[in-house]
């Protein structure tokens, strides 16, 4: 069996809300941009899932295309970074360097490949300023009270990624109403510095000292490394609106005639024992927490891939146990002598069956079933070729460990990981307002689709966080925090 062809690759495109055949803009070249971490706190397991998902996409594309350009950015300028640095009484530079090293340590444990480019916001301020100026020149942005804002009404296709019209977005979400905004949905491209800002977070611009808004960063960096148009943009489902929606609006406005990204991929949310993982709930778990609890990085990676990437994934004891047992079965077929011979001289092409399964919107469940069938055949006839093929597949998927450690993951192990965070304090002053607003917007979308069960589910989740929402006339929703 051989891999069919690049033309048979199917991915689910969020923009069109259906499976699409992947056709790259350049023959045998794939360009992909994925939103990376904001380095203000150690990434939690939900962040890790996104990193692992796009790493598998990257590994797959490297097998199919002659050239793959993968860009994953680092956001090292942000209000949350400023706040975290103040709380820890350290400089912004010290904080971002520390958190970035944590990030690298975590993804290294998960066998994540290094992307082609990993630009930082602080290293691309001139490019960001240039794009903002282009938006001003094109009458898509305006200056008010030291702010530069994108005028949403100037872009007729605003809302196409989230499949909502501007009027629905205004009425369906609680957006900050500020005197300097023409429209409640207008978003910041450049923010003026305040007297409390650390000097390392202040940059000079034609509009005064300050720093860029969150959305413009990705548009400027993707343009710098991939051009006006590229093939795939990825990220977590929580970024679909407003972050990715705003990226499309500003990129297509700055570069008239651009389609920006041809395809949009979004991975699903991660929950913990059925509850949403959230810093405000103090139930977010890091890769480091699991490693310190004695859990192998390959086990964590397999667990994060075990549910289809677009579906929600629930982190629980059984998921950990299942992944551990699977990898124990996969690794017990090897002995040190046979392993050393295989690792000395081996090709790097995985089985074509695996490539064909991944070509079907990253169908990892079929990949896993194929690995089990390979293992069964190996036990029946342990030939050198079958053994080599098997280890090549494990290495390609990033779930091979030369010295795999057996670990009985029981309730106590699982609790060690959970107890590493103080979950006893549900301090509502720490609630992420952006998260609440995005959830309200999503609830409004469900209501418009008459999916009242999903809408009620969001109301209930917000209520558990201490957020009370109130529906008012003209489809306006407000909220208060207990």
Per DSSP bridges, beta strands 313-315 and 270-272 are parallel
Average pLDDT over residues 462-474: 73
Domain that holds residue 68: 10-268
Pair (143, 186) in one structural domain: yes
Among 4-18, 146-160, 221-235, 334-348, where is mean pLDDT lowest? 334-348
Q: Which of 393, 394, 391 is nearest to 382 (CA)?
A: 391
Residue 392 lies in a domain: yes
- The model's pLDDT over 205-235, given as tens digits with 9 standing for 90+, comes to 999 999 999 999 999 999 999 999 999 999 9
Q: Which of 64, 93, 68, 69 is nearest to 81 (CA)?
A: 93
DSSP one-letter code for 360: B
Answer positive or negative: Cα dihedral of 314, 315, 316, 322: positive
Average pLDDT over residues 236-248: 95
Q: 44-65 burial string, b = 16+ CB within 10 Å, else e?
A: bbbbbbbbbbbbbbbbbbbbbb
Average pLDDT over residues 465-478: 71
Question: What is the structure's pLDDT at 405?
Answer: 67
- The model's pLDDT over 334-372, given as tens digits with 9 standing for 90+, comes to 876 666 666 666 667 899 999 999 999 999 999 999 999
Pair (226, 298) in one structural domain: no
Question: What is the structure's pLDDT at 422?
Answer: 46
Pair (252, 283) in one structural domain: no
CATH number for the domain spanning 82: value is: 3.40.50.620
SS3 16: coil
The residue among 268, 290, 305 that closes a domain is 268
- Distance CA(282)–CA(482), nearest Å, equals 17
Task: Decide: 233 and 276 in contact? Cβ < 8 Å.
Answer: no
The residue among 268, 292, 308 that closes a domain is 268
Residue 1 lies in a domain: no
CB atoms within 10 A of CB 5: 9
Pair (314, 288) in one structural domain: yes
**Between 434 and 407, the higher pLDDT residue:** 407
Pair (199, 210) in one structural domain: yes
Pair (202, 346) in one structural domain: no
Pair (124, 14) in one structural domain: yes
Among 155-169, 237-251, 465-479, where is mean pLDDT lowest? 465-479
Residue 3 lies in a domain: no
Per DSSP bridges, beta strands 210-212 and 187-192 are antiparallel
Pair (173, 221) in one structural domain: yes
Task: Decide: 347 and 353 in contact? Cβ < 8 Å.
Answer: no
Average pLDDT over residues 263-284: 82
- Distance CA(185)–CA(167), nearest Å, equals 10
Pair (284, 248) in one structural domain: no
Q: What are phi and psi of 427, to 5 degrees?
A: -80, 105
- Distance CA(264)–CA(57), nearest Å, equals 13
Q: Which of 226, 306, 302, 312 is nearest to 262 (CA)?
A: 226
Q: Which of 123, 15, 417, 78 is nearest to 215 (CA)?
A: 78
The residue among 401, 419, 437 that closes a domain is 419
Pair (321, 297) in one structural domain: yes
Bridge partners (DSSP) listed for residue 32: 70, 232
Average pLDDT over residues 173-192: 80
Residue 314 lies in a domain: yes
- Average pLDDT of the residues of the chain: 87
Pair (174, 246) in one structural domain: yes
Residue 4 lies in a domain: no
Please, what is the angle between helix 336-344 and helix 384-397, to 10°? 70
Q: How many domains does the chain have?
A: 3
Answer positive or negative: Cα dihedral of 73, 74, 77, 78: positive
CA angle 388, 3, 229 (to 5 degrees): 120
- Distance CA(154)–CA(176), nearest Å, equals 19
């Amino acid at each position: 069996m051989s891999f069919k062809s690049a033309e048979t690759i199917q991915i689910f495109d969020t923009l069109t809300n259906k499976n699409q055949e992947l056709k790259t803009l350049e023959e045998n070249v794939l360009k992909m941009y994925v939103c990376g971490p904001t380095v203000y706190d150690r990434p939690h397991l939900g962040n890790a899932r996104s990193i692992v998902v796009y790493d598998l996409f990257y590994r797959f594309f490297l097998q199919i295309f002659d050239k793959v350009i993968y860009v994953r950015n680092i956001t090292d300028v942000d209000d949350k970074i400023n706040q975290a640095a103040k709380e820890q009484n350290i400089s912004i530079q010290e904080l971002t360097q520390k958190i970035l090293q944590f990030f690298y340590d975590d993804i290294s444990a998960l066998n994540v490949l290094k992307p082609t480019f990993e630009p930082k916001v602080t290293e691309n301020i001139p490019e960001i300023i240039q794009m903002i100026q282009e938006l001003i020149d094109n009458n898509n942005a305006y200056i008010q009270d030291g702010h530069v804002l994108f005028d949403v009404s100037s872009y007729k296709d605003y809302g196409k990624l989230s499949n909502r019209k501007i009027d629905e977005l205004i009425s369906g979400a609680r957006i900050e109403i500020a005197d300097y905004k023409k429209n409640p949905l207008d978003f910041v491209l450049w923010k003026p510095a305040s007297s409390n800002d650390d000097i390392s977070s202040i940059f000079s611009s034609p509009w005064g000292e300050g720093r860029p808004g969150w959305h413009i960063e990705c548009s400027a960096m993707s343009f710098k490394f991939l051009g006006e148009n590229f093939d795939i943009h990825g990220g977590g489902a929580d970024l679909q609106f407003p972050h990715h929606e705003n990226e499309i609006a500003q990129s297509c406005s700055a570069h008239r005639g651009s389609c920006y990204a041809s395809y949009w991929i979004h991975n699903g949310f991660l929950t913990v024992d059925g509850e949403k993982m959230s810093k405000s709930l103090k139930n977010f778990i890091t890769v480091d927490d699991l490693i310190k609890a004695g859990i192998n990085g390959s086990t964590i990676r397999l667990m994060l891939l075990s549910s289809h990437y677009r579906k929600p994934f629930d982190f629980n004891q059984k998921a950990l146990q299942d992944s551990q047992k699977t990898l124990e079965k996969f690794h017990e077929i090897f002995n040190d002598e046979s392993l050393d011979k295989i690792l000395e001289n081996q090709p790097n092409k995985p089985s074509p069956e695996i490539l064909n399964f991944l070509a079907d919107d990253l169908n990892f469940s079929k990949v896993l079933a194929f690995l089990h069938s390979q293992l069964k055949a190996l036990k029946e006839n342990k030939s050198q070729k079958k053994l080599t093929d098997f280890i090549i597949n494990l290495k390609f998927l990033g779930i091979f460990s030369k010295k795999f450690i057996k670990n009985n993951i029981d309730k106590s192990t699982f609790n060690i990981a959970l107890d590493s965070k103080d979950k006893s304090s549900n301090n509502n002053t720490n609630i992420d307002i952006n998260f609440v607003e995005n959830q309200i917007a999503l609830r409004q979308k469900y209501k418009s689709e008459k999916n009242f069960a999903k809408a009620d589910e969001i109301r209930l989740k917000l209520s558990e966080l201490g957020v009370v929402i109130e529906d008012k006339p003209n489809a306006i929703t407000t909220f208060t925090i207990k």
